[in-house]
Chains A and B, each alone.
Chain A
């Protein structure tokens, strides 16, 4: 159960960070008229097509004692980044980036442009328009982004193994725990952990679909 705690903590951190970073990136991608925008769009989508090992490998190299990120981290905090929880969070953020940004872009783009115009002629700047109009009308997208990045991080394996290794209580997540059990032929223990993950994943996806189908809209209930 230690592994589950690590997984949940990791997923929560990643989802929170992704929302914070994802919103400005998604805003820019949704509304910029810059012609080279497709380049950034491709970069954001990269983790969808790359094998996790490729991403994990580069993350590991960058975080290693000779990598730029690793050296910066040592200089700042006195210890390395690879095989720590912080390193795991960073790599997972990269890996789950499209899962947060793409629903955000879709929902920002779905907001009627005339509402943004109306906000502007009523004297609101871009920031106020974002908070008062775009964000409230994009709530299903925001919820989807948070939940999907949470769920995706919960289930990741390759990146975690590359960057985090397998340190009990620090970087050993549920998926790696299951792998360990299977390797040592403890199928019963593997099954129990796997079932928990399956149940959580199903619950999370049901929530996302219910929200997007407006079966249940928690934020309009007053």
Chain B
């Protein structure tokens, strides 16, 4: 178990100072650290690794203190046995893949070192590249080598800072599988930074959501990301619709309230939140949670039916992005088949259907 309480202020010229103030616990297994860029994820990782010294706090692995402000303890990075895969990977450009991986193994005799390096290169399926330098190796393979270099040292904790950025989904999945397989035997705490929703779904056992230097929520991915409570988090988690709304009335008995979207009278029902009548709130809605109909639907359990007009349709892969004007502009995702069946086109009147609990209040 890795436990970190970290308080660190960062001053940068011209910008307002940034305060990271978090307390997290990372049990063995993969914990996702999720947040928009600038939320403080990398600073937190640097503090845990010992590359940055917190102003205050305490960092421990089980009962081993790595950092403590009182009494002053700061174990240097090279003595922490924490592996860290950087966003830039930071492979040594002048060393071959094999030499990169062997870099952290200098305490082993030559023979044992060769064996360990060979084993891990094999496990991450990059053995054939062992004599090549990073400049001659492709993106996904470099990521595997960086993982191998970190893991071969048998670390007590693994920190991964967006290690799979820029890879396609299939390759990501394959690397993630290798990582999972490796960790099944070792069971160390892995703190995995990402702002990709795909990776959260693929990896996530636990998610810690960070925003502006604070932990805003922590728990299972579903709890944290499907009910985002912060605007930035909602954007990062892929909520295409973020709308300003005014609270019209509260229906405590039903656990809902009615809000008006935008300035025009487009009213919807959303889950009850801590808000007073007349106050402004923000509502986040996934484009995939909105249904489209070409006739006014009836007999539905969904409480929100809004009349509007298609503004534009844009095909992106196997998905069509429909922008609909119903007083405010909403984005909905439909399939190309649905577009054909409903004969959707710009200017066509449509009805949008939305469940109450697909509307998330954010602050």
Query: In which size bucket is the chain B interface?
Result: 20 to 34
* B92 engages A120 (CB within 8 Å): no
- Whether a CB of chain B sits under 8 angstroms from the CB of A218 is no
Complex-state Cα separation, A115 to B89, whole angstroms: 9
Check B94–A136 contact: CB distance below 8 A: yes
B336 contacts which chain A residues (CB < 8 A)?
none
Interface stretch (choices B74-82, B251-259, B281-289, B346-354) = B74-82
Asked whether A115 lies within 8 Å of B90 as measured between CB atoms, the reply is yes
Specify the chain A residue showing the minimal Cβ separation from B99: A132
Q: Mark A150-186, 1 if CB is under 8 A from B, else 0.
A: 0000000000000000000000000000000000000
Query: For residue B79, which residues in chain A have a CB less than 8 angstroms away from its CB?
Result: 123
In angstroms, Cα B87 to Cα A118, docked, is 11
Q: Quick check: is B239 within 8 A (CB to CB) of the other chain?
A: no
B residues less than 8 Å from A137 (CB atoms) = 93-94
Residues of chain B within 8 A of A136, CB atoms compared: 94
Between A and B, how many residue pairs show CB distances below 8 Å? 61
Cβ A117 vs Cβ B103 within 8 A: no
The answer to whether A74 has its CB under 8 Å from any CB of chain B is no
* CB of A121 closer than 8 Å to a CB of B: yes
Q: Is B83 an interface residue (CB 8 A)?
A: yes
Among candidates A115, A117, A122, A124, residue contacting B51 with C-beta atoms closer than 8 Å: A117
Complex interface: chain A residues within 8 A of B103 (CB)? 119, 122, 124, 132
Least distance between A126 CB and chain B CB atoms (Å): 9
Q: Known: A118-B90, A137-B94. Contact between A123 and B153, CB under 8 A?
A: yes
> Which residues of the other chain, A, contact B76 by a CB distance below 8 angstroms?
120
Task: Report chain B residues within 8 Å CB of A121.
Answer: 49-51, 77-78, 80, 82-84, 150
Interface string of A134-149 (1 = CB under 8 A from B): 0011000000000000
Main secondary structure of the interface of A (DSSP, over half): helix
Q: Which of B153-180 contact A (CB under 8 A)?
A: 153
Report if A112 contacts B (CB, 8 A). yes
**Nearest neighbor of B102 in chain A, beta-carbon distance:** A122
Query: In chain B between 96 and 111, which residues have their CB closer than 8 angstroms to a CB of chain A?
Result: 103-104, 106
0/1 string, A107-121, CB within 8 A of B gives 1? 000001011011111
Question: Which A22-40 residues have C-beta < 8 A from chain B?
Answer: none
| CB 8 Å contact bits of A92-117 with B (1 = contact, 0 = none) | 00000000000000000000101101
Report if A51 contacts B (CB, 8 A): no
- Residues of B within 8 Å of A112, CB to CB, are 88, 90
A133 at the interface (CB under 8 A from B): yes
Expressed in whole angstroms, the minimum distance between the Cβ of A88 and any Cβ of chain B is 37
- In the complex with contacts A137-B93, A137-B94, A118-B78 CB distance below 8 A: no
* A interface residues with partner B (beta carbon < 8 Å): 112, 114-115, 117-125, 128, 132-133, 136-137
| 7 A–B contacts from the bound complex (CB under 8 Å) | A115-B92, A118-B86, A121-B77, A121-B84, A122-B78, A122-B83, A123-B78
Q: Give me the interface of B with A, judged by CB distance under 8 Å.
A: 46, 49-51, 76-84, 86, 88, 90-94, 103-104, 106, 149-150, 153
Known: A114-B86, A133-B92, A136-B94. 15 other contacts (CB 8 A): A112-B88, A118-B86, A118-B91, A119-B92, A119-B103, A121-B80, A121-B82, A121-B84, A121-B150, A122-B83, A122-B153, A123-B81, A124-B78, A128-B106, A132-B92
Q: Which 8 A-B pairs have the closest CB atoms?
A: A122-B104, A118-B90, A120-B77, A114-B90, A121-B84, A136-B94, A120-B78, A123-B78
